[in-house]
Amino acid sequence: MQTLPFPNHRPPEYLKLENEPEFSAARHLALEMPQAVTSLSELGYDAETIKACPSEFGVSSAFRILSDEGLAAMRDICLKMYDNRNVSVGTGVNRLGSYVRGAGYRSQFMKDFCDSPELAEHISKIASVKLARHSVPAVACGVNYAPEDITKAVDTWHVDSVAFDIVMMLSDPTKFEGGEFQYFHGTKMEGQKLLGIDGEEGKDTDLPADRVITVPFPTGGYGFMQQGNMIFHRACRMKHKAERITVIPSFVVAQADAADATNSVNMAGWDDPGLKAELARHEAWRASARLEALVDKISLHDEGEALSAQIDAALAPLLKFRDRIGGA
Ligand SMILES: [Fe+2]
């Protein structure tokens, strides 16, 4: 199993779109390779940190993903989903201004796009590790819109709660000012220290301009890829009210017992419907794969301490998540 199937029902808050075009990789994708890739070591990460990551890949330049027909169809769907976007219920935990999570529940086209084996194979080549559509539907396909209040950043400085994602522009970048996507040319620890924050918390302030890279989108249908939990990034404020729609598909490392940077503990604080159950499924899936691997890994020479250490390691992320949700 490369990834978990979507659950066979959806949160009632999410409305299913009718009369959508049927997704076809041949007609709707126009995949190209990025012209430039920046590695984690180029950003200043040390060998030990990189070894703990699934790949040395850091961030790419924008590359073409959608055909003109694919772009027109997806933009139309995202405009329709705007009225059914997610609602932040005032807990302050949601950093984003205006967004859809779990687009695959609302749109079969979006689900089939994110699930497309052609896309997974393409981005696996870019990231140098086999990736699959993220097993948590909320983040498998997200959509960001410009906030209603343009004094707010589209998204403040942060790292992602998933390891790999694409940020794909659907709007015409010549038709809006501001809203640039930027990343910090350095490690996330350095960026967070400069801003005086930790964790994934966002902050809408400036970092030294000579350390900040703006990723240009040549036109709609282009996106770039990042190892998002290692790249400190933001989307700037819009200068005027205008359409700025980005689609953010996320991915997991396909090998289910491999280290997994999905930050379920952080995402448990988001208030999207069904999300805690989605995260529980994800953690149960990865823990069971680790336990299965343990059946072969355990040596008859292992004694109590070595055995309990292996069992603890297999269960740790699941139990950490369980403690986080704690029945609250
Ligand atoms: Fe992000």
Range 45-54 average pLDDT = 97
**Residue 306 forms part of a structural domain:** no
**Per-residue pLDDT at 89 exceeds 60:** no
Average pLDDT, the chain: 92
Per-residue pLDDT tens over the stretch 5-26: 999 899 999 999 999 999 999 9
Calculate how far, in angstroms, residue 159's C-alpha sits from the geometric centre of ligand 1. 6
Which residues are registered as beta bridge partners of 87? none
Closest to 127 (Cα-Cα) out of 1, 4, 236, 258: 258
**Per-residue pLDDT at 52 exceeds 90:** yes
**Residue 180 forms part of a structural domain:** yes
Calculate how far, in angstroms, residue 58's C-alpha sits from the geometric centre of ligand 1. 13
**Per-residue pLDDT at 30 exceeds 90:** yes
Calculate how far, in angstroms, residue 163's C-alpha sits from the geometric centre of ligand 1. 10
**Residue 293 forms part of a structural domain:** no
Calculate how far, in angstroms, residue 18's C-alpha sits from the geometric centre of ligand 1. 30
Calculate how far, in angstroms, residue 202's C-alpha sits from the geometric centre of ligand 1. 10
Question: Distance between CA atoms of 58 and 159, rounded to whole angstroms?
Answer: 12
Q: What per-residue confidence (pLDDT) applies to 200?
A: 66
Closest to 6 (Cα-Cα) out of 144, 162, 99, 141: 141
Question: Distance between CA atoms of 122 and 125, rounded to whole angstroms?
Answer: 5
Count CB atoms within 10 A of the CB of residue 315. 16
Q: What per-residue confidence (pLDDT) applies to 92?
A: 40
**Residue 11 forms part of a structural domain:** no
Calculate how far, in angstroms, residue 234's C-alpha sits from the geometric centre of ligand 1. 7
Calculate how far, in angstroms, residue 298's C-alpha sits from the geometric centre of ligand 1. 38
Q: What per-residue confidence (pLDDT) applies to 132?
A: 97
Q: What per-residue confidence (pLDDT) applies to 154?
A: 79
Per-residue pLDDT tens over the stretch 195-244: 887 766 666 677 888 999 999 999 999 999 999 999 999 998 899 999 99
Calculate how far, in angstroms, residue 179's C-alpha sits from the geometric centre of ligand 1. 13
**Residue 264 forms part of a structural domain:** yes
Calculate how far, in angstroms, residue 43's C-alpha sits from the geometric centre of ligand 1. 17
Calculate how far, in angstroms, residue 155's C-alpha sits from the geometric centre of ligand 1. 7
How far is residue 20 from each of residues 5, 9, 107, 108, 170, measured CA to CA in Å? 21, 19, 8, 8, 17
Asked if 17 and 81 count as a contact pair (C-beta separation under 8 A), the reply is yes
Calculate how far, in angstroms, residue 262's C-alpha sits from the geometric centre of ligand 1. 13
Calculate how far, in angstroms, residue 227's C-alpha sits from the geometric centre of ligand 1. 10
Calculate how far, in angstroms, residue 287's C-alpha sits from the geometric centre of ligand 1. 26
Question: Distance between CA atoms of 233 and 236, rounded to whole angstroms?
Answer: 10
Q: What per-residue confidence (pLDDT) applies to 327?
A: 63
Angle at 232 between CA 102 and CA 139, to 5 degrees: 10
Q: What per-residue confidence (pLDDT) applies to 93?
A: 47
Domain CATH for 247: 2.60.120.620
Calculate how far, in angstroms, residue 178's C-alpha sits from the geometric centre of ligand 1. 17
Calculate how far, in angstroms, residue 145's C-alpha sits from the geometric centre of ligand 1. 13
Give residue 88's domain range.
25-272
SS (H, E, C) the chain: CCCCCCCCCCCCCCCCCCCCCCCCHHHHECCCCCCCEEECCCCCCCHHHHHCCCCCEEEECCEECECHHHHHHHHHHHHHHHHHCCCCCCCCCCCCCEEECCHHHHCHHHHHHHCCHHHHHHHHHHHCCCEEECCCHHHHEEEEECCCCCCCEEEEEECCCCCEEEEEECCCHHHCCECCEEEECCCHHHHHHHHCCCCCCCECCCCCHHHEEECCCCCCCEEEEEECCCCCEEEEEECCCCCCEEEEEEEEECCCCCCCCCCHHHHCCCCCCCHHHHHHHHHHHHHHHHHHHHHHHCCCCCCHHHHHHHHHHHHHHHHHHHHHHCCC
Residue corresponding to tokens 């942060």: 158
Closest to 21 (Cα-Cα) out of 76, 103, 100: 76
Q: What per-residue confidence (pLDDT) applies to 149?
A: 81
Calculate how far, in angstroms, residue 183's C-alpha sits from the geometric centre of ligand 1. 10
**Per-residue pLDDT at 121 exceeds 50:** yes
Count of domains forming the chain = 1
**Per-residue pLDDT at 328 exceeds 60:** no
- CA dihedral defined by 295, 297, 299, 305, rounded to 10 degrees? -90
